[in-house]
Structure 1
């Protein structure tokens, strides 16, 4: 883009730059006028006399038809030079290597600041995938994240240090980060060797150390958000040390998030210890001011439903007037959602809410994947025990659900059946605009 076209873009409304430049110019004139009044107006007389003398001498050398345009060009050139160098210096300080014009960055930030307040509830990779797509549309994002994980690096840190599991929170912070990619990669780096370090991610260790220093995971998240320049906020569902348990159809009761994901029989009931954990005030405030509330995508019993074990969160969602959307997974998860279609996922959510005494339907709108068109990839997943989550449109609509089908996997061929961040976020924003009549 040429310099002249970039300069014209600064005249676009809403940048909140022109008004302050004008204010500065008026302030300079008032400042000079005040100094002149203080000096008994003599500087004004001297300036007018000097200006009159200068104009007389210039016009005697060159006619006004030449002098006027020449002086205008010189003045304009000086203004252009001064402003371009000023904005260039500001850009060098704010984004030295991002290759983005300052005017483009300001316009994008203005658009994001005006984006809807979206609360996304869940955990695992599904939530971080959604957030990485939604941050293109709004900076008013709140991720409410489950803290029931007891496997992998998070489980080790939880057992040995007594901290809440940081893994899902780390993924959400990285997804919402606007800092340099290298810093985000560092936060996500997982050690591949080393006694005691192997399997741990740097971000998990960082959050655990900050939790010990600040005294709470919530404070550690706030500090990490500043380091990563997070666009929005990440909030744990509760500050309690939550342990999941599940009752199976065969009568067995299993404990621990990692074991629930490998259940040998269908899950009929999910609970946690301690019972009815409290919600964090920031989470409740975000829900109260939300323009859209989203549940999912993510593992049904280990990422989504644990958040609905927090009664205060459920009550806040039920009070909200914002549209509420459930995003279903693409594939079933062996040992957790075997044989469940979209309707089965929704029945599990309704059963969870009924166990808390909530009879009203919290999520009456559903976003699901269109029919998958890659039989070879589907067959590969079938060999691993996973099936596409079937959506019976007629049945769901008869039950009063608003169902939207979209290509959530994305239009490009891929080696995995996962939600595509851009396609998923686009479908969510289209639902939001329809719900607002836009």
Structure 2
């Protein structure tokens, strides 16, 4: 019996020891959590101090108003209590006990208060309120970035940039006339929502779920088959709010989007291209299918008016990014709006173009990096960006074979030609390669990091990163 009791006691001691060890491990973490509230820039300490000061002044004001009678009585009452405690317990015991009890109640009350606030503001989240506040504060202080483009390239870029700033404006082409967007454009007369849908989903807090929802395509139903939910959602919002700009703004509030998504114009823009063999091809979806070399690109109407909010965003930007995406059907269509290219040309902020990794059949066959730059300069008639981001590693043999079957190859970096065009080269490893399918795309995290670091360097901020090479 005695041995059993001893074993039980030893087990209890071990349990208590492990519990104390766990508590000791948690304590620094909890203390670190509380010290975060003292970090500069949270804007909490000053308001707590102001609140306490206001409370004290209110009490003193009431006391003075009634002739200080409550103050005298309160001081007498506390004096009697302190004398009673001092007679029962000596000061070297009662003092520390009162301090410990006060600190315990203070921390307990504040922990429960902030826990309740966190549960109300962000139910089901494991992120602490202070961490959420610090993240929001950091993002709100991020640079004002304008990203210009369309297609999946722009949404990929936005997915990475939103981790560095909440002050992002995506200016998106509205020239799409294929697929679900084209059907809605022809049947209902709305501007094509497809590229905008992708950008809204990319900037949303619940990106994964929202992307799956917006990309969901109906496979049955008279008139619904082939349409994506996101396109129908934005079309319905356009009908309710009156235009696509208001529809995007309303949707962004509902979906907790970091930043803004703006169409380049609200005009019904249709692309056309003149080919080297003299053919005239009209329609964004038909241009890549036509085959041949594009020698001229334009739109109808010839001079579509820009969205005023897009011009303001460019004028107030700290950093402007063009691409990645299809050169002639995603990037250049935005620059066919005269006010947009004029606004970009006037800015003095860093401007950079993200070049595609692979050539695109029907658009950029055999194009080098310099050819991409010349195409943009030819359309705009002026220099709109200072540097170009290029991927500096060759894809695997499996990927090269996969793309060669579609007559696509890596975009060759002709350094001398790019230098002659007056552009700096930012070379980095920014490729995401799918080993199974052989498809490549830009890695959104690496690309965003490279762009933010390059922007930092232009402002004199030094970064130690062997994955980033700036030439020129």
Q: Describe the shift of the 1:234–1:107 C-alpha distance in structure 2 as closer, same or farther (beyond 3 A).
A: same
Contact 2:201 2:210 in 1 (8 A): no
Residues 256-335 of structure 1: pairs in structure 2 closer than 5 A: 256-335=283-362
Q: What residue number does 1:50 align with?
A: 77
Structure-1 residue corresponding to 2:426? 404
Partner of 1:357: none
Q: Which runs of 5+ in 2 are unaligned?
A: 1-25, 462-472
1:148-297 pair list within 5 angstroms: 148-179=175-206, 181-297=208-324
Is 1:436–2:463 an aligned residue pair? no
Alignment partner of 1:96 out of 103, 123, 129: 123
- The TM-score, its normalising length taken from structure 2, stands at 0.89
Contact kept, 8 Å, 2:216 with 2:229, in 1: the verdict is yes
Unmatched tracts of structure 1, length 5 or more = 355-359
Q: Distance in 1 between matches of 2:338 and 2:61?
A: 64
Aligned to 2:261, the other structure's residue is in SS state strand
Q: 1:375 aligns with which of 385, 394, 397?
A: 397
CA distances 1:28-71 after superposition (whole Å, capped 9, x unpaired): 11121122122221110111001101110011111111111111
Q: 1:376 to 1:5 in 2, by over 3 A?
A: same
Partner SS state of residue 441, structure 2: coil
Q: Identify the range of structure 1 (344-353 vs 183-192) with the bigger mean alpha-carbon deviation.
A: 183-192
Report the structure number with the largest CA radius of gyration. 2
Q: Secondary structure at the match of 1:235?
A: strand
Q: What's the offset of the Cα at 1:189?
A: 2.1
* C-alpha separation in 2, matches of 1:184 and 1:378: 29
Per-residue CA deviations over 1:214-262 (Å, capped at 9, x if unaligned) read 1110010011001111101011000100011110000000100000121
Structure 1 pair 436–413 and aligned structure 2 pair: CA distance change class (3 A): farther
* Equivalent residue in structure 2 for 1:124, among 147, 151, 167: 151
- Preserved contact between residue 146 and residue 303 of structure 1 (Cα < 8 Å): yes
- Give yes or no for contact 2:433–2:440 (8 Å, CA) kept in 1: no
- Structure 2 SS opposite 1:262: helix
Bigger mean CA offset, 121-130 vs 85-94: 85-94
Q: Please state if 1:394 is matched with 2:416.
A: yes
Name whichever of 105-114 and 235-244 sits farther off. Answer: 105-114
The residue aligned with 1:361 is 383
1:184–1:228 CA contact under 8 A, matched in 2: no
For residue 269 of structure 1, give the secondary structure of its aligned residue in structure 2: strand
> Aligned equivalents of 2:97 and 2:429: distance in 1?
60
Aligned-pair Cα RMSD in Å = 1.5
**Cα deviation 1:156-204 (Å, max 9, x = unaligned):** 0000000000000010000001147534532332223322212211111
Corresponding residue SS for 1:22:
helix
Summarize the Cα distance change of 1:397–1:140 in structure 2 as closer, same or farther, 3 Å threshold. Answer: same
Equivalent position SS for 2:426: strand
Partner of 2:407: 385
- How has the CA–CA distance of structure 1 residues 124 and 180 changed in structure 2, closer, same or farther, with 3 Å as cutoff? closer
Which of 399, 421, 427 is residue 444 of structure 2 equivalent to? 421
- The aligned counterpart of 1:28 is 55
Contact 1:342 1:389 in 2 (8 A): yes
Say if 2:392 is the partner of 1:341: no
Change (3 A) 1:411 1:20: farther
